[in-house]
Structure 1
Amino acid sequence: MEIPRLLAPDVPTETDLQAIAQILHSRAGIVLAPGKGAMVQSRLGKRLRRLGIGDYRSYLALVTSASGEDELKAMISALTTNVTHFFREKHHFEMLRSRALPPLIARARAGGRVRIWSAGSSNGQEAFSIAMVLAELAPDHEALDIRILATDIDPQVIACGQAAIYDPQLLDTVPPALRARFFQPVPAGVQVVDSLRRLVTFRELNLHGPWPMRGQFSIIFCRNVVIYFDPPAQARLWARFEEVLEPGGWIFVGHSERIARAESRLETAGITTYRLPQDAGANGETEWH
């Protein structure tokens, strides 16, 4: 017997798009700009076909229901843009190597604690780029209390980061010496070596929800993330980052992003780089491992 083909879902109406935009904004802070109907249809149409749902009204009823939390996460994941590569915006890693990390490594060697956060980490290329610079500067990093937290709202990219397996073509931006030292061939591609993977902890996190971490970070990378938020959401996020940044701590933002809050204590320290003054005050210890 011939199995009937599932018909393509209906085109989302303007009402559907407004509802999807409202969910994205309320749950993830993401602004869905006008004129994105084709993008929504392209990305969510696959979800509807997989679920056997023929219209967006029924799909919206699912994702807003008590039993639809998993599909809601899948919807946000499908509509989230993940663009990244190793050592993106090289000037940030030069600053990391020359100014930000050396005193922190010295502190760790003296028994101190150092925490770095890659917020909006996508599939882990940013976090592992940070880890490679750190491992270069501190071959003894496994004996030091230095850890990198990598978070993203998308559980699929978090799983990619945890696996740390990449297409070899993605390593084009990794210097050959680092490529040889920190990656090993596996059947599915190349994998980050264990010593580097142990530096990085991946966690699913909605930046606009509660943060389970307590205390402060020495360095925060949040690049090309807030451009998807509206100005009030951006301002709230910059303020929250400042609260968890230790005195003298660094924050690196995307090439088209600026922290322009008049009440901010952050000072410009380089191209899309900011730093909290050493006398800014402290908020406590970081509790995550």
Structure 2
Amino acid sequence: MTGRVQGKVAVVTGGASGIGRACAERLAEEGAIVVVTDVQDAKGAETVAAIEKAGGKASYIHHDVTSEAAWVDVAGQVEKGHGRLDILVNNAGIGLGGSILEMTLADFQRQTAVNVDGVFLGVKHCIPLMRKSGDGGSVINMSSVAGLKGAANLAGYCATKGAVRLFTKAVAMECANAKDGVRVNSVHPGIIETPIWDTIVGTGEPGSNTAAPRGATLDAMAEMAVPLGMKGWPQDIANGVLWLASEESRYVTGAELVIDGGLSVR
């Protein structure tokens, strides 16, 4: 541990598995006090236990990111328990693949509620706490390569991640104008070994964000599509999130950090 975010308080949504868990563990490893939120309570408890076993500090809150009342509660619990908030990682998200002609309006709206409304609500209810803390803060919104370029059979997902990208830039300018010290950036993962790919490549139950480990399908996709010829790991994204959360990125706001092995360039 080198203490790159020592003593900072961080909220990581969707922190029970995948990229969210990796972010929570990495931030805690570098000294942050991490509040993990998710709807997967058992996995959330496992994440907290792993962080504490490694010597870090963490807690868990059950949290539906589409609920404004839940966000008010999370912000209130963080303020009551820690008195401040320095880092928000808006990571919770779902990926629903398939032809846009076959996608139901209910699924389109559900994906938008989690991926876009959840980010909006996080920003709305957490930035005031960052401002109250007086030391600024770092908001990190999880977008995707799908927020940079279109992909067949991912139109709904692309729409949500593209929205997160531009929403991030607009909020970054609002905070900059307010001179509140809050920086807002987006992260754009490529093909990463996470459960969300089960619904994108069709190997899991539609709408689920948990599944058994993948076989060769994701590896084959990465080998074919990614210039570096391989998939990424959640830790690759977590390292980028750590940098954006730390003072090392003090002059970075409104930016998009692409971590995709060159996928978006091809």
Question: With structure 2 as the length reference, what TM-score do the two structures score?
Answer: 0.29
Question: With structure 1 as the length reference, what TM-score do the two structures score?
Answer: 0.28
Higher relative contact order (CA 8 A, sep 6+): 2
